[in-house]
Amino acid sequence: MVTDEQLLAQYARGEQPAFAELVRRYEQEMFVFLQRFVADAAAAEDLFQETFIQVHRHARSFDPQRRFRPWVFTIAANKARDHLRASGRHAMPSLDSTTGGSDETTFVDLMAAPTAAPPDALGAAEDIARVQTVLAELPAPYREVLLLSYFHGFAYKQMADMLGVPLGTIKSRLHAGVAAFAKAYRARTKMS
């Protein structure tokens, strides 16, 4: 299978179908990332397009020693941050702490949970909606590290490189983000 980096190199040499394949590979995952980041599907579509316009513009200058996936997610995260700044949107326990419900579900379990069985679908839909709402209300620095880490599986070092911040900052943002998520989730659960 052709790697993303090889596809970008092919596109930089003028092979148009390679770019379409890159877009196809990232379309769903990147859109979900952006939608969760900005909490707006229409804006996420625009940001997805802007991200790949930038990929197009910088295809020839891409360093082939780098990995494409972190690079494209860096572009997308920057576009999302710019969008949130421009729109004037400002929002600001341990990973194993429980949600406070009747079971022993942790916040990490909620963020990484697979699709529930049909009898649990209604409750799961409510949990998913609650998680999405809470994520949307978190400050952007917390939201981006939670999304990159839990939903997209990036390692701390990759996130530090992508976001241009020290590794310690990533760790503290992730810890603070989980704590903020936990507090907001508990508050939402009590309101329901």
pLDDT digits (tens, 9 = 90+) for 155-178: 898 888 888 889 899 999 888 888
Regarding the domain delimited by 107-191, which CATH topology (the fold level of the hierarchy) does it fall under?
Answer: Arc Repressor Mutant, subunit A (1.10.10)
**Per-residue pLDDT tens digits for 61-101:** 998 888 999 999 999 999 998 998 888 754 334 445 555 55
Is the whole model's pTM more than 0.75, yes or no? no
Q: What is the pLDDT of residue 93?
A: 45
What's CA 5's distance to the chain center, in Å?
21
**Sequence spans of domains, the chain:** 4-86, 107-191
Tell me the pLDDT of the chain averaged across its residues. Answer: 81
Query: Residues of the chain with pLDDT > 70: what percent?
Result: 80
Q: What is the rounded end-to-end Cα distance, in angstroms, of the chain?
A: 47
Helices 68-86, 16-38: inter-axial angle, 10-degree rounding? 50
Task: Report residue 111's pLDDT band, with 50, 70 and 90 as the boundaries.
Answer: low
Regarding the domain delimited by 4-86, which CATH topology (the fold level of the hierarchy) does it fall under?
Answer: Rna Polymerase Sigma Factor; Chain: A (1.10.1740)
d(CA 170, CA 30): 21
d(CA 52, CA 32): 15
Contacts 24+ apart (CB under 8 A), 154-157: 154/70, 154/73
Considering only the C-alpha atoms of the chain, give the largest distance between any 2 of them, rounded to a whole number of Å: 58
Average the pLDDT over each of 34-38, 80-84, 150-154 and give the range with the smallest value.
150-154
* Cβ atoms of 3 and 63 closer than 8 Å: no
